[in-house]
Chain A
């Protein structure tokens, strides 16, 4: 295959490793099609070129390559932030950061003494804004006994460290009293523990000599700091060797960026602070490489119904604005704490987040949440905790991300096994720019696999806070009867459900933002989301139902998870099929690759496809890129008869990074830039090739 990377090396004559050879690079044919997108400017006058050479050297590089490839006149993108110099990226971030702080400090208002929370108080105390009003508000907030556990701890820790110099003695006395009398629970999820221990560490740091009598748990400040640091370093090690457990959640990434920001901003231990900062880079890269226009694409460990239907309602949509300027400014506690911490993302992260000059495949290794029971034969132990590898695969295009995991029970409650997310012009919080499938499943087997609860109560108690968990029209969730396989822009999902399955059907979500949906006589259902053509071929027929067909969310039964349903949740529908042996094929393509939607349909209809549900569900499909994909339920899938190599699945793999399992490092690459996070040595190395293209 002719690779663009080779073209770059030959043409530009760079002395450095301009491009990393990677099997995931997309063919030049596809790239050239992309460049025919009319959205790009074709003719630039020489004067503009000279100007651009100063501001956007990479742009000149792209144009030169394009010309040499014979495609130019040329298809050259307009100057995007990817092409901006470091200083300009930093300046723009700084402006957004200032806006976040201005918004946060404005919440505390002497004229409205009951407005604002701990984080706004912290912002005011750090920034020297409305100090008296902030202290008064803090006294109000601290009056009752806390009850939010780690969700009380981190805002309080933020006040203690960010607002440290602005606190008065009365406030300190009350804060210290609360840490003595209130026993916050550590919780039971990875994000809970990160929040708990980072907060405990920093709170203890502010009371360095405090003995056991000063703390709710009877441990001294030194002991609490040691325990907290030990856990957090272990978490960092597991994450950078085996992958994150609560991986790639567009919701819960907030609960990781917050603790790492707190430590980055205020941990006094230089090496520990550095590690936290490196983890921030690491987590943000993980998002940057799988986003489309700020939306976190692909498979996710945890999403709420509101977020799975309308992806702009996730915290990452707000955070993406601060980090990279995506979308619009939306108040978010993580943004405020990132802003207060002084963390500045390295410019290479913005380049990764925005550089969609060519489609690419991102593979990532994650792991399931710890399985304490029913771990299964595919589990392995890290220390004395058992887990199962999660194999993530995402096809990232300028206009969409199609991403998946292998299926199965990877996370309790809120797993999203696969999804398609596309670029959209619809307002962030209203956009329903997503397409995905689910086998609705709930069971005590899953509950007791991941929680310490009892078999007969665990489902009920889960549903007390996640009401949709035990509902037939649920949209998030994993299933032990689901196996998914993706290659490029094609995906095969197989289902083999026993008769006793609680919700014996599969659901495919067709959002309200899809247009031109056609049930074709060939058996394919064609539809379009933004600039993405979608073909969906169910193995067995189904029926259309409105999403939330039980009315659970629209009735408000889900509490906060269903609030505002009319705005974000109404108007979509689901294709529901109840055949016990079932499946579907999904083939997507950027609209720019076809002359028309009809041409796409014709191309898909012509693709060889053989499906069977007589025994184990099975499909053999020749995808648009010519690859013959084969999947049979229970077997390892294959591409062109070669089985997928899960045993050597990398920790990260794309044109922007390649790391193997266990590496404890991440080298981010963009053009000639290298940004290395070495967790073994707690070291950041940043280099740029001398022969910058």
Chain B
């Protein structure tokens, strides 16, 4: 194949499948640090949130703070109330991103994940390297939420869309459950491992997957009460990424260091390496596109972001070369 034709085909293939279709209901945000070009410096050349336009261009969004790791929008706020987690704490906008305010004090640092309660949208939760936080006013103020936790480090959490106040928290020492809106925590029957990512199935909320440090992936089919190992091939791996296809709960994805992308199409019974076509097998984030059924996004360590429409059989360049990705989040578009 000659080069121009190959380029043309690549361009066509890489065009979003929705091009020309109805406007998507969600907007993709990437929380990243630009570390690839970081030389003789302790800070990345850029960092923060980037949002992807339909033409594939990424545009910076929100405060240009260091260590931005997550973004959530308060349900029912019509996109007005946005929370961002970063090294300095939680930053909140009450006007759709026009202005921002840090809503935590000096005690809070290194926010790794945020979530609004599944039923009560005034309640929000944060996982930080120094312990979890809870808010009862939509993220305007925060309180420590450490009761019942022997170790405070946490970097991932998920709420329950069906039950208010039910939160699963991934800590340094396994997964903890709160049923009282993070006032107290109790340990689940989960592995004694540092939990790096929790993902819940939108198709079947009883199903969750956990990615761990050096203990591989774990699956729960009872809403997080108990967990069992899955994917023996990555059982000792450092897995940073986990995702479940909202359109098909049998489609699971895992990613990690030197592991690449691993896919299960049968609810975790079998797994396949789907890293071919990616420039590197170091994966930090995986996320399914809620608007394009089956589209999986993957963020590598510094080698770019990619998407696949065939569960990883082929990959397409999604931009953000040089980025160290922390999260890829689809938020509802406000119209």
| Chain A residues packing against B (C-beta within 8 Å) | 149, 183, 185-186, 188, 193, 197, 212-213, 216-219, 227-228, 230-231, 234, 372-375, 384-385, 452, 454-457, 461, 464-467, 558-560
Contacts and interface: CB of A to CB of B under 8 A. Distances in A.
B214 to A, nearest CB: 8
A465 B44 CA distance: 11
Interface stretch (B9-17, B32-40, B184-192, B227-235): B32-40
A468 to B, nearest CB: 12
Contacts of B64: 183
B330 interface: no
B284 interface: yes
A268 to B, nearest CB: 21
Nearest to B41: A465
A219 B87 CA distance: 17
A344 B87 CA distance: 37
A170 B40 CA distance: 35
Contact of B152 (A193, A384, A452): A384
Contacts of A234: 106
Interface residues of B, number: 44
22 contacts: A149-B43, A185-B87, A186-B87, A188-B109, A213-B99, A217-B91, A218-B101, A227-B105, A230-B105, A372-B129, A373-B151, A373-B153, A374-B172, A384-B144, A384-B152, A452-B110, A455-B213, A455-B238, A455-B257, A457-B324, A465-B40, A560-B40
Given A183-B63, A373-B172, A384-B131, A454 B240 contact: yes
Interface string B114-138: 0000000000000001110000000
A212 B105 CA distance: 15
Contacts of B106: 193, 197, 227-228, 230-231, 234
B204 interface: no
A547 B40 CA distance: 21
Contacts of A197: 106
B301 interface: yes
A466 B105 CA distance: 30
Nearest to A186: B88
Interface of B: 35, 38-43, 63-67, 87-88, 91, 99-102, 105-106, 109-110, 112, 129-131, 144, 146, 151-153, 172, 194, 196, 213, 238, 240, 257-258, 282, 284, 301, 324
B95 to A, nearest CB: 11
Contacts of B282: 456
Contacts of B66: 149, 185
A183 B112 contact: no
A464 B257 contact: no
Nearest to B110: A452
Contacts of B87: 185-186, 188, 452
Nearest to B131: A384
Contacts of B39: 464, 559
A186 B43 CA distance: 12
Contacts of B43: 149, 185
B35 A185 contact: no
A465 B42 contact: yes
B324 A559 contact: no
A230 B104 CA distance: 13
Contacts of A185: 43, 65-67, 87-88
A466 B42 CA distance: 8
Contacts of B284: 454
Contacts of B112: 452
B94 to A, nearest CB: 10
A135 to B, nearest CB: 28
Given A217-B102, A456-B238, 18 more contacts: A149-B66, A185-B65, A185-B88, A186-B87, A186-B109, A193-B106, A197-B106, A216-B63, A217-B100, A217-B101, A384-B131, A384-B144, A452-B87, A452-B129, A454-B196, A454-B284, A461-B35, A464-B35
A73 to B, nearest CB: 59
A454 B258 CA distance: 14
B101 A219 contact: yes
A374 to B, nearest CB: 8
A384 B146 contact: yes
Contacts of A374: 172
Nearest to A197: B106
A436 B2 CA distance: 63
Query: Considering the complex of A and B, which 10 residue pairs feature the smallest CB-CB distances, nearest first?
Result: A218-B101, A559-B40, A231-B106, A465-B42, A456-B257, A185-B66, A452-B110, A452-B129, A217-B102, A373-B153
A212 B103 CA distance: 12
A183 B65 contact: yes
Contacts of B153: 372-373
Q: Which of A197, A374, A385, A452 has the most CB of B within 10 A?
A: A452
Contacts of A231: 106
A552 to B, nearest CB: 13
Contact of A461 (B38, B109, B238): B38
